[in-house]
Every structure is written in structure tokens, then in C-alpha cells.
Amino acid sequence: LAKTTQPISMDSYEGQEVNITCSHNNIATNDYITWYQQFPSQGPRFIIQGYKTKVTNEVASLFIPADRKSSTLSLPRVSLSDTAVYYCLVLNQAGTALIFGKGTTLSVSS
Amino acid sequence: NAGVMQNPRHLVRRRGQEARLRCSPMKGHSHVYWYRQLPEEGLKFMVYLQKENIIDESGMPKERFSAEFPKEGPSILRIQQVVRGDSAAYFCASSRTSGGNSVDEQYFGPGTRLTVT
């Protein structure tokens, strides 16, 4: 299973763009990169998933370079409510269990 | 469409008692996963079940823990003879399928916070 490395914490202000980078040097050909968000006292929530290049949805964008050894979650114009822990996961089509690290704690201030 | 339901939300047990945690997956989902989260830690996978089958229990402690997902009714995570170290948040997730041509996202419930006194 590919191990992921991401910053423990990040700070931002409302209205800024936040980019959280995750390293996954041992990613395999069939692996997908997935990001989850977790608020205190809640279960994680799926944000976005990608395989290569760029993926965008109504919440975030995911940038994946050609070698796929890293990925960057981009949150445009964050608000206070984006304060949460963000987890980067790598999983393959046959994968079942999600392997969570400690995630990145994003703190957004006014 | 209701999300993943877990109950109870909070459970207090004394050492040596049994804890039973229930999870109802989203409608149409036949795959259930249980995770445990200790304070300040990420979630740790415990077990993956489909209806009436345990598919992967590689994350389950060898003793005192068991899980089932019967043909009818919710999935149950059972912890016998609880100890203080079992205090944690237990999350259940469900997905529609597993594997295939894409990786289905897992939908998580609100969790059950178990406190062992």
C-alpha cells in the first residue's frame, strides 16, 4: 500500500486559496488519489478523487503531475467553515479499506 | 436518501461489560466498513463486510472484537469485556460497490463515541 506524507498543519485566512500537497512516492499504476475532509466529531467526507492531471468539482481541485508521486488539493477562497482535517489517501480499484494517516489540520482565521 | 446511520452516538461502558455498536448503511449500499479513531489520530481500518460475509478483518484485534452484517438489519460491531483502551470513536462507512472500473467513495456515519470507565 502506498504511504502518503502530508503536512501536519496549515493556517490560512478567509478568502485565500489553500493548497495542500501530499507525497505518495510508491504509488502504483492502478492507484487513485482520494481526499477526505473531517470536521470535529464527525465522520470523514469525500472531497475529490483523481488519477492524473487535473480534476475539479464544486468544492475543490486536485492537481496530479505526470509522475503521480505527489498531488495537490486546492481549496479556492476558503472560509471559516473549511477548518477541518484533510486526509490524502491512495487506493486501487481492488482496494477496500481506506488507509488514513494523521492528515493535515487546516485552520482558517478571519 | 438517508445517510449512514449509527447508534448509539455515545456509549458508556464499565470495564468488563459488552459494547454493541450498530450501523445501517445507505440505501442500496451492500458494503460496510468499520474504522476506529483514537484522539488526535487518523482512522484505522478494522473490518470490511458484505451481507452475511466478512471480507477483510485484517484490522480487527484478535480477541474480544467481532462484527457481523446479517441479511436483515444493521451491521453490528461487538466488543466483549471492554477495557479502557477501547475508548475511541468508531465509524462505520458504506459503499455501493467495491473495485471494478472505479473506486467508489465511502460514505461515513457520524460515529459512536465509546467511553470505558
**B19-25 mean pLDDT:** 97
Q: Tell the residue number behind the cell numbers 438517508, with chain if given.
A: B2
Q: Which residues pair with B12 in a beta bridge?
A: B115
Q: Is A53 exposed, middle or buried (0-12, 13-18, 19+ CB in 10 A)?
A: exposed
CA distance B14 to B34: 22
Residue type, B108: F
**Interface test mutation site (partner A, options B36, B43, B104, max chain A beta carbons within 10 A):** B43
Average pLDDT, chain A: 91
Q: Which residues of B touch A96 (CB under 8 A)?
A: 31, 33, 48, 55-56, 98-99
Q: What is the pLDDT of residues B49-98, one digit of tens each?
A: 998 899 999 999 999 999 999 999 999 999 999 999 999 999 999 988 65
CB contact at 8 A, B35 and B90 = yes
User: Between A82 and B106, where is the model more confident?
Assistant: A82
Query: Which chain A residues have any C-beta within 8 angstroms of a chain B C-beta?
Result: 32, 34, 41-46, 49, 87, 91-103
Helix, strand, or coil here: B86? helix
Using DSSP bridges, classify how beta strands A53-56 and A61-64 pair: parallel, antiparallel or unpaired.
antiparallel
